[in-house]
Amino acid sequence: MNFAPLPSVDAVSVPVGGLVLDVREHDEWAAGHVEGALHVPISDFAARVGEVTEAVADGRRAYVMCRVGGRSAQVTQYLVQQGIDAVNVEGGMQAWDAAGRPMVTDSGKDAYVL
């Protein structure tokens, strides 16, 4: 059986205003995240997949992100299998931070990658 390569992009290629789907857990999100990202922790994903499909119902691409790319790869693979335009962000939030892309917190404290 042949598997198609997982669609992926680097953090620099995620467009400003693109739909970022952050699948990290709550403590990781609280430490720092992409402003405007949709937060659906992988541990809640099965129960909340409807939120994701609703967010991409207009054909938007989902840029799936975790800390380094492993959990987001699993979610990206699932979404692609469902016919959703999704790509894994290589290197995750660590790559995002290293590229100097902006991060925010809900608390207003300095953002960092946990």
* Residue pLDDT, tens place only, 15-52: 999 999 999 999 999 999 999 999 999 999 999 999 99
pLDDT score, position 4: 66
Task: Give the type of residue at 105.
Answer: T
112: which residues sit within 8 A by CB, 6+ positions away?
Answer: 31, 32, 97, 103
* Residue pLDDT, tens place only, 52-108: 999 999 899 999 999 999 999 999 999 999 999 999 999 999 999 999 999 999 999
Active site residues: 66
